């Protein structure tokens, strides 16, 4: 939590209004909620998002849940160091909200009595920095913590046998030597958060989507480190069953496709993690081809576990919903 943006009720209320405010965009039709829809866990269901220009963007809309935990760098390639810095980027991007003059936006909001009052209560002045602070404050309150998995972690329920098998596979790196089968998910998706880890750049990974020739810059664009080429942010898997399509470019439409990718579709490259190359439920010596060698039943079990991450309260919570919607 930044020291200059404490989480206050007033800031969050203002942030909520701004999040759903289409007047933030140049054509008055696109708000943050255009690409971050609550019932889809604040994603948009598209391969890549579409803003004011109508041109598909390069990246898939990221879910906005539990942003105070996990990697504290934002965007798929981690180019924003704070949430406050992040929110101003789509606001000004020519294809997203195209607000090329933040001064004009400030003046526009200042002409609105209701916003004048909201800003007065939250921050005093209407400025672009305070617009960013308010949006970030609202986004920090988007906490998902009542999925079946959360209830399981709190000891309130037991998962059914298929979900429990899926959980065990999710949480295990396979080790043939001790007959431990695993799907290796936890090596990137941490056990409680299901997001990447927060330390340094640990929450960024090359998950084998592209071969060497097609590897995108990813995190390397931010750090300049060649070892970071093709690394993208490991997202939280909270509400993953609601947030298709998947991956930074939305290339997979279903969780089945995602599981098939990790099981047998990994493409090798110089920055691919040895943990992915080495993970094999048949024993690494069996074949040179990278594969987890999961069974169909195991893949189905992991998908059943992923469904336990759906939090109905999160996608229906009134405090997160559109304040302008007719009741």
Partner 1 sequence: MKPMRKVVLLMLVLLAALTALGVAGWQLYRAAQPLELTLYFHPFVGPEPLVLNECRYANPGGEGRFKVRDFQFFLSNIRLVSATGAYVESDSYHLVRFDGEEPAFAIVLHDVPCRSYERIEFGIGVDAVANRSVTSRGDLDPNSRMAWTWEVGYKFVLFEGMLLCGNASDPLVYHVGFDENYRIISRELQREQLASSPARLDFRVDILRLFQGATTVDMRALPSVKFDRADAALLGRNFADMITLMRPERD
Cα 110 from chain centre: 32
Rule CB under 8 A: say whether 110 interacts with partner 1: no
Rule CB under 8 A: say whether 143 interacts with partner 1: no
**CA–CA separation, 309 vs 136, rounded Å?**
24
State the first-to-last Cα distance of the chain, in angstroms, to the nearest integer: 33
What is the Rg, in whole angstroms, of the alpha carbon atoms belonging to the chain?
21
Other beta carbons within 10 Å of 124 = 9
Of residues 188-247, those binding partner 1 (CB under 8 A): 190-193, 195, 197-200, 202, 227
Based on CB atoms, which residue is closest to partner 1, 77 or 197? 197
The minimum distance between CB 70 and partner 1, in angstroms, equals: 8
Based on CB atoms, which residue is closest to partner 1, 12 or 193? 193
Cα 294 from chain centre: 26
Half-sphere exposure of 238 (CA within 13 A, CB side): 28
Based on CB atoms, which residue is closest to partner 1, 143 or 186? 186
Look at residue 201 and give its three-state secondary structure: coil
Q: Which of 10, 112, 164, 187 binds partner 1 (CB under 8 A)?
A: 187
Rule CB under 8 A: say whether 175 interacts with partner 1: yes
Other beta carbons within 10 Å of 257 = 15
Q: What are the residues whose beta carbons fall under 8 Å from the beta carbon of 224, sequence distance 6 or more?
A: none
The minimum distance between CB 308 and partner 1, in angstroms, equals: 16
Rule CB under 8 A: say whether 277 interacts with partner 1: yes
Rule CB under 8 A: say whether 155 interacts with partner 1: no
Rule CB under 8 A: say whether 274 interacts with partner 1: yes
Residues lying near partner 1 in the complex (CB under 8 A): 69-70, 171-173, 175, 177-178, 180, 186-187, 190-193, 195, 197-200, 202, 227, 273-275, 277-278, 284
């Amino acid at each position: 939590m930044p020291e200059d943006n404490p989480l206050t009720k007033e800031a969050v209320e203002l942030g909520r209004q701004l999040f759903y405010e289409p007047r933030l965009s140049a054509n008055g039709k696109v708000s943050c909620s255009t690409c971050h829809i609550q019932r889809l866990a604040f994603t948009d269901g598209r391969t890549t998002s579409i803003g004011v220009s109508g041109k598909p963007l390069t990246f898939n809309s990221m879910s906005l849940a539990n942003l105070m935990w996990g990697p504290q760098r934002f965007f798929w390639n981690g180019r924003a160091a704070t949430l406050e810095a992040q929110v101003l980027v789509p606001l000004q991007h020519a294809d997203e909200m195209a607000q090329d003059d933040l001064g004009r936006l400030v003046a526009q909001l200042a002409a609105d009595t209701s916003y004048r009052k909201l800003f007065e209560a939250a921050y005093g002045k209407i400025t672009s920095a305070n617009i960013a602070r308010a949006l970030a404050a609202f986004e920090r309150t988007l906490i998902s913590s009542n999925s079946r998995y959360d209830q399981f972690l709190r000891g309130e329920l037991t998962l059914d046998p298929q979900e429990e098998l899926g959980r065990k596979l999710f949480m295990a790196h396979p080790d043939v030597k001790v007959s431990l089968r695993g799907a290796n998910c936890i090596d990137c998706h941490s056990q409680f958060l299901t997001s990447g880890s927060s330390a340094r750049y640990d929450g960024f990974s090359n998950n084998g989507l592209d071969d060497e020739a097609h590897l995108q810059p990813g995190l390397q664009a931010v750090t300049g480190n060649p070892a970071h080429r093709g690394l993208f942010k490991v997202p939280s898997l909270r509400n993953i069953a609601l947030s298709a399509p998947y991956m930074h470019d939305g290339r997979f439409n279903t969780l089945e496709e995602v599981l098939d990718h990790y099981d047998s579709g990994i493409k090798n490259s110089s920055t691919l993690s040895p943990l992915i190359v080495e993970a094999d439920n048949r024993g690494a010596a069996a074949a040179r081809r990278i594969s987890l060698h999961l069974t169909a039943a195991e893949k189905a079990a992991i998908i059943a576990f992923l469904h336990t991450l759906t939090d109905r309260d999160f996608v229906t919570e009134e405090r997160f919903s559109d304040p302008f919607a007719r009741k």
